[in-house]
Structures are given as structure tokens and as C-alpha cells.
Structure 1
Amino acid sequence: MIYRYLTLSLVKLKYNTMQQGTVKFFNETKGFGFITPSNGDAEIFVHASGLIDNIRENDTVNYDVEEGRKGLNAVNVKVA
């Protein structure tokens, strides 16, 4: 429980502002894809439920980061 709390706190500290990146791919049928962050971090998962705008491959997007069950997720994703 303490580890989970610390992890969430570190995520909030690192990603306390909206991030920017490029959509690597997004499968509309399956409802998920990945974003390549502009800051050089590892690719981040995006689910259709985290979208504000419709996105396509190579779109530049802004997004927030949240800790999900399997790692970091992009949420509040909108085209820049």
C-alpha cells in the first residue's frame, strides 16, 4: 500500500503539467494506441476513454499522465 502511494505521488510530481507528444498509432476498432512523448520518455499507453479529441497516427497531442493498473496512461488527450 505504501509503495502504491509513493508511486502515485512520484507520477504526480513528474507529470504535474500537461505533456506533449506524437501519436505513434491508434487502433479505433480496438480503442487503444501509444503516444511518443516529446521529452524522450518511453511510449505511453492511451485508451479511447482517455480521449477528448479524435486522434490519428502522427498527430501532435497534449495530454495528462495517470498511473494505471499496468503503468502510465495518457488521459485528457487532445490534438495540439
Structure 2
Amino acid sequence: GNDVFVHFSAIQEEGFKTLYEGDVVEFEIVEGPKGLQAANVCKV
């Protein structure tokens, strides 16, 4: 699929917010100031 920008503030997790390659996540795609970006990112 296409790449989507993820800002750390969109990650719905307590403590240190980070994603690793291979993490399975669910998210919404929204229009940001510089194009498409992820919102409400949750690890599954």
C-alpha cells in the first residue's frame, strides 16, 4: 500500500509512543497540512 505519515501524537498509547517496523496497527486517514496522515493509531 501507500505510505502515510504518522506523528507520534496520533499514537493512542500510554507512556513512550513508538512504532516498530512490522507492528500491526489500525488507524484513520485524514488530510493534514502536508497531505494524508494517520490519526487515532492503535496497536492490535
TM-score > 0.5, shorter chain as reference: yes
Instruction: Point out the structure with max Rg over C-alpha.
Output: 1
Question: Could you tell me which residue of structure 2 aligns to residue 52 of structure 1?
Answer: 12
TM (normalized to structure 1)? 0.46
User: Which 4+ stretches in 1 moved above 6 angstroms?
Assistant: none
Relative to total residues, which structure has the larger helix share, 1 or 2?
1
Encode CA deviations 1:52-80: one digit per residue, 9 max, x unaligned. Answer: 03422210100011100110010100111
Paired with 1:72 and 1:52, the residues of 2 have a C-alpha distance of 18
Q: Which runs of 5+ in 1 are unaligned?
A: 1-39
Q: Which amino acid in the other structure matches residue 62 of structure 1?
A: E
The two structures have a TM-score, normalised by structure 2, of 0.76
Q: Answer 1 or 2: which has greater strand percent.
A: 1
Per chain length, whose mean CA-contact separation is higher, i.e. which structure has more relative contact order (CA < 8 Å, sep 6+)? 2
Q: Which runs of 5+ in 2 are unaligned?
A: none
* Paired-residue identity, %: 40
